[in-house]
Amino acid sequence: MQRRILIVDDDDDVRTMVRDRLQAMGFVVVTAADGLAGMQIVKSSWIDGILLDLDMPVMDGLSTLEELRRWHAHIPVIMMTADSDPNKLKTAIELGAIGHTPKPIDAADFGQQCRHLFG
């Protein structure tokens, strides 16, 4: 059975690149442009893993992760960020993120990390 991965990022180019890479790896991918839209997807369909941007309008990554943990504590989340603020990443880990990947995303390392964490 194919694993369903949700990408939540406000950057169209990032969503497209990550989606294409994950689909090439055999994942089923759904996308959302902000945390609010991402939460609507999580509440209405099965998701096996989430790639979540830290800095977004409407609902940022930390708020989304906090809300997500109220609904689904089991879904693995990898934060994606160009922000190097260690406090934000520490908070994300405390809220239950299992890792992070820096932006710009290195396709080879990213693929290995996703395969390892999402199966």
Q: What is the CATH number of the domain that holds 31?
A: 3.40.50.2300
Q: Which residue is listed with tokens 């603020």?
A: 85
Give the H/E segment covering residue 49. Answer: strand 49-53
pLDDT value for 59:
92
HSE-CB for 64 with a 13 A CA cutoff:
34
pLDDT for res 2: 85
Q: Six-digit token pair at 59?
A: 């609902």
Give the HSE-up count for residue 61: Cα atoms under 13 Å, Cβ half-sphere: 27
Task: Write down the residue that tokens 């998701």 correspond to.
Answer: 47
Which regions of the chain are under pLDDT 50? Answer: none
Per the structure, the count of domains in the chain is 1
> Angle 86-94/61-71 helices, nearest 10 degrees?
10
Please tell me the predicted confidence (pLDDT) of residue 14: 92
CA dihedral over 86, 89, 94, 95, signed as positive or negative: positive
**First-residue to last-residue Cα distance in the chain:** 11
Per-residue pLDDT, 111? 76
* pLDDT value of position 40: 95
pLDDT number for residue 60: 93
Give the structural domain span for 21.
4-118
pLDDT of residue 53: 95
9 phi, psi to nearest 5 deg:
-155, 140
pLDDT of residue 30: 97
